[in-house]
Amino acid sequence: MVSNCKKEAGVGQRIPEGEVPEEVRLVNEFLNTLDLERFGEHAEKPEAEREELRSPERLGDWLVARGLLGRGEMVGARDLELALKVRDALRVAASANSVLARGGPAGVSFEEVPLVVRLGGDSKPELVCTEGGVKGALGSILADVAVAASKGTWARMKICAAEDCRWAYYDHSKSRTGRWCAMETCGNRHKTRRYRQKRRISTAKEVRPGGTILATPGDDILSC
Ligand SMILES: [Zn+2]
């Protein structure tokens, strides 16, 4: 759900503690550093602002705000390139978690971000990145994804099925078959569109009983 998410100037959306399982909280925020929502308040958003990580500085601010990077640590163009590569691959993977989506970024690996298993103080195994800086920060996010996959919560990280939304969200539904970031927005918009489409088809059939009705995947009805 996105209703309680807060946006802080310059560092993007923050999900309140407890709203999603802890191992997917940062990942969820990371996935939404790309804003493709094109309705409501987001409709008029300038294209240039849809990418939260649009410069090394912005990437640095985002990571520092989450305690993943020390203030003043260097962030370069290659770091940004790697961050976008990881984020975009994870967005494709989250899309594949959606019921209707197919495929995913099979075979993609991130050699630049080496993760190793370490036994912590309590002898609990944990995945840690052997690199520091931005690579280490991205390693933390990827380690969270691995933990989420082992706990079964990664399968609930999805991308909204609405083409004009594509918001990353955690599917809280019992059935695990949620398709929309929020039923009250994208779910209802989909229902309304389907209802209108059906009405148009039935109306067209009534008006031209002898014609052939062709319905496009969108709302347009063509008759001949
Ligand atoms: Zn949505």
- pTM for the model stands at 0.81
pLDDT band of 211, cuts 50, 70, 90: low
Domain hosting 216: range is 184-223
CA of 71 to the centre of ligand 1 (A): 34
- Whether 169 contacts 160, CB under 8 Å: yes
End-to-end CA distance of the chain: 44
Residue 13 lies in a domain: yes
Tokens of 163: 């083409």
Distance 169 CA to ligand 1 centre (A): 9
The alpha carbon of 181 and the centre of ligand 1 are apart by a number of angstroms equal to 4
73 vs 223, higher pLDDT: 73
Domain match, 168 and 85 both: yes
pLDDT tens for residues 168-183?
Answer: 999 999 998 889 998 8
The crossing angle, in degrees rounded to 10, of helices 133-151 and 56-65 is: 50
How far, in Å, are 4, 28, 51, 61, 149 from residue 145 at the CA level?
Answer: 23, 10, 22, 22, 6
Last residue of a domain, one of 144, 163, 178: 178
215 shares a domain with 163: no
Q: How many domains would you assign to the chain? A: 2
Same domain, 194 and 127: no
Q: Are residues 78 and 58 in the same domain?
A: yes
19 occurs within a structural domain: yes
CA of 131 to the centre of ligand 1 (A): 36
Distance of CA 24 from the midpoint of ligand 1 (Å): 18
